[in-house]
A and B are shown apart, each in its own frame.
Chain A
Amino acid sequence: MVGPAARQAPDDAATAVPRRAPDEAAPAARRTPAYDVAAATPDPEIPTLTIEDLGILRSVDYSPGRGTVVTITPTYSGCPALREMAADVQARLHRAGFERVTVATQLSPPWSTDWITAEGHRKLAAVGIAPPSAAPQRDGPVPLTLGVRPASPRCPRCDSPDTRLTAQFGATACKSLHRCTACGEPFEAVKPI
């Protein structure tokens, strides 16, 4: 696990350094006690990852009218986990002594896998899920990828680049299915979006 998990210097364009959300440049500035409590909320589908690791937590603010305002963003429109996460964030903050808590949704800009943090990438690889490559940057209409073999990620077990896509859709909305040609391992990957 050490090899792929530590891999932070991808060697081809398809896995170039991810874009970061604008506010990720200065994480220290947004750390508050309420932020830390909210940030530790696990993702219900992959509980080793937090909503901060996944880039789902957008901000934690305070307003006199609404109390602590936690802003989260759905990964996919139909993500069934969003509501559980919102309820969990609320419960955690209540337990930590924050009495008035509002969990707000934010749709724009839409969530991107580029918002998954370096820590998120490390944790995904550690549980055998290939982290996403950089999300497609579009300037103009979305191109049809007919006949183009999509880049398949490195095997999270043996780190071989020789893997193939077996299905574009997996057990959750955010994942695709792959198989390693070198070691035979079937694995999931987070789809770049």
Chain B
Amino acid sequence: MSTPDAGFDPDDDNPYDLLAEDHDAGQRWAFGTGFTDPLEGIDTSVPDGLDPGALVRYCLALGDDALIYSHRLQQWVARLPELEEETAVANIALDLLGQARLLLARAGGIVGQTEDQLAFFREEKDFRNVRLAEHADRDFAELVVRLLLLSTWRLALFESLSAPSPAGRADPVLAAIAAKGVNELAYHRDYAAGWVVRLGDGTELSHAKAQAALDTLWPLAGELFRPDPDAHPFIPGGSAGPAAFDAILDTVLAAAGLDRPTAAPLAAVGGRAGRDGVHTEAMGYILAELQSVARAHPDATW
């Protein structure tokens, strides 16, 4: 098999045998990755002059956005109208879960916790995701409009984080995670934009549902641009800024014939929102589903 022209031998390289091979000294943890560190072999020392606390908090914020939103997308699988949309949403959820693993591993490596401990054993008040990530979509229109909002914002953010500017390179690991994510998020945004245009520019009913979805979600989008002091070392000005987001969104809404809502952002609670661990009612239900089995059997292996 080492020469380029060698044929494929199904007996030698049966993928099912490979999957069944024992690579973990007989045990995998039953609920988490059970994997080796996704950052294995990468230099994870914190660069000189960078506040490790800010890096941990910022990686948790971006990791939690991806983890919680991925879980919400996974809940759609087996409920979507077409097989193609099932695979699309499952793929997008998988990409986000991968981003979450890398980001939680980055944060956890600094504070001495694994990605699994962070995902399964933190309490609601310690999750830093924006509230838009935890929203329960009422219908397919909300699914694609929310995906448009979140992927447009995250793509702009990740482009800033991986930009070759000094700020964009403050942490080389975060920059590398973001650079990988850019390629994935570009596909997510195109998928969402295509559907928002199809619904908005479709039938009277699909248009009404798309506009209603946009109106429902709009108050939650304001939080995406709240100033985040932890982001300052990594993004000039502390935010990817609404300009790039607005330009894309306005293009899509114009093509879809949808009106940009004017509703005010959902208020913070005592000045605190998702990044501060203050969540909507939906968050408790997500964590119950996400964490309950791991918490009930923390030592289980298979």
- A residues with a Cβ closer than 8 A to B are 36-37, 39-40, 42, 44-45, 47-48, 50, 69, 71, 74, 76-80, 83-84, 86-88, 90-91, 102-111, 119, 141-142, 144-147, 166-171, 173, 177, 191, 193
Contacts and interface: CB of A to CB of B under 8 A. Distances in A.
The interface residues of chain B, by DSSP majority, are classed as: helix
Contacts, number: 145
Contacts of B182: 110, 142
16 contacts: A39-B2, A47-B15, A69-B41, A76-B184, A84-B18, A86-B40, A88-B21, A103-B41, A105-B38, A106-B41, A107-B39, A107-B42, A108-B179, A110-B179, A144-B252, A170-B87
Interface stretch (B97-105, B110-118, B218-226): B97-105
Nearest to A126: B8
B2 to A, nearest CB: 4
Given A87-B23, A109-B179, A167-B84, A77 B95 contact: yes
A141 B95 contact: no
A38 to B, nearest CB: 10
B190 A105 contact: no
Given A104-B42, A110-B183, A168-B191, A78 B97 contact: yes
Given A74-B180, A103-B41, A146-B255, 5 more contacts: A77-B177, A79-B98, A86-B36, A147-B255, A170-B87
The interface residues of chain A, by DSSP majority, are classed as: loop
B258 interface: no
Interface stretch (B128-136, B139-147, B168-176, B202-210): B168-176
Contacts of B102: 77, 107
A74 B181 CA distance: 12
Contacts of A167: 84, 87-88
B167 interface: no
Contact of A169 (B91, B155, B255): B91
Interface of B: 1-2, 4, 8, 13-15, 18-19, 21, 23, 33, 35-36, 38-42, 84, 87-88, 90-92, 94-99, 101-102, 155-156, 159, 172-173, 175-177, 179-184, 186-187, 189-191, 193-194, 197, 244, 248, 251-252, 255
Contacts of A44: 15, 18-19
A168 B35 CA distance: 29
Contacts of A47: 8, 13-15
